[in-house]
Amino acid sequence: MTEAHIVCANCRAVNRLPEARLADGPKCGRCGKPLLTGAPVAADTALFDRLVMSGSQPVLVDFWASWCGPCKIMAPAFAAAAAELEPLVRLAKVDTEQAPDLAARYAIRSIPTLILFAGGKEVARRSGALDRATIIGWTRSMLGQRPQ
């Protein structure tokens, strides 16, 4: 049975559990909070590094800022995509004003920018506001899955 490494967005503990249990609403072994909520995680640099480097799931990150109109337009679509893509993919939001170090690390030039990480590495990126179906379809195709 394949073991998943799921990072807790609350306490950053890495939880190891069988992949078959991911659909059962697993809770964090350290803090007791639900591990997968079907909603994007607001990530600071420390949580981002943990999710991307220590989690076994691919991570789709929305780089955004509060002053950015297209980011606000895309936010509900991104949230809806999280409900659909979890537990296969983890969705996170990085506020580029709160975490300018991450924006610099990944050379974010325009927002919103989506970057898909797998195995700790960037596998794809795309800029501009997208709708829910496009976010889901693009993510699945970049991960080598057929659209459903």
The position carrying tokens 């939001």 is 93
The enclosing H or E element of 121 equals strand 121-127
Q: Binding string to Zn ion for residues 8 to 47, with x set by CB under 5 A, is what?
A: x-xx-x--------------x-xx----------------
Is-catalytic flag, 11? no
How far, in Å, CA of 117 to CA of 4, rounded?
16
SS3 85: helix
Is-catalytic flag, 28? no
Strand partners of residue 143 = none
Measured from the CB of residue 127, what is the shortest distance to Zn ion in angstroms?
32
Measured from the CB of residue 50, what is the shortest distance to Zn ion in angstroms?
11
Q: Where on the chain is the footprint of Zn ion (CB under 5 A)?
A: 8, 10-11, 13, 28, 30-31
Residues identified as active-site: 68, 71
